[in-house]
Amino acid sequence: MRVLGIDPGLRNLGWGVIDVDGSRLSHVANGICKSSGTDMAARLMSLHVQLTEIFRQFAPQTAAVEQTFVNKDGAGTLKLGQARGIALLVPAQFGLAVGEYAPNTVKKTVVGVGHATKDQIAHMVRVQLPGITLAGADAADALAIAICHAHHARMPALARRVGA
């Protein structure tokens, strides 16, 4: 199964692609889509075009996106939500189901604790995907989301096998 993880952001949208074969994970690619344009519509279109190209190039079979957390800055949360809309729209345009995970779930799955730092996430992504070169913190987060999805998507299949 090929999984694409997306870390939504209006300036920098991180993405990471992994292949999953049983319990084996292997890195395919990772990067950061940087929005361009001066107004919101242009920036969102830029992210849409870039993410669409990533889907065309890597042909993921499933996708996962980090859920938005609400912070004190309502305007910032709204802007992040608009970028998250692009992160949900593009996989849907390719007919894919999208897993959504809370930030703490991603951190707990990948690092083992729900309040891990960005450095800890990047470290554990490197441990689970040896030899990887990360495009940046947003790409590391996106790969962590993909890893989280791989583990959680596998759980129902494992439960069926154990219960059979």
The yes-or-no answer on residue 39 being catalytic is no
Residue type, 42: A
- Quote the tokens at residue 101: 């995970």
Residue among 21, 39, 66, 73 flagged as catalytic: 66
Residue among 7, 21, 39, 73 flagged as catalytic: 7
C-alpha span between 60 and 63 (Å, rounded): 7
Binding residues: 7, 66, 138
Binding residues for Mg(2+): 7, 66, 138
Which residues neighbour 119 within 8 Å (Cβ) at sequence distance 6 or greater? none
Residue among 100, 119, 138, 141 flagged as catalytic: 138
Q: How far is CA 101 from the centre of its chain?
A: 9
Torsion, CA 3, CA 55, CA 69, CA 137, rounded to 10 = 80
Please report the DSSP string for 13-28 in residue order.
EEEEEEEEETTEEEEE
Please list the active-site residues. Answer: 7, 66, 138
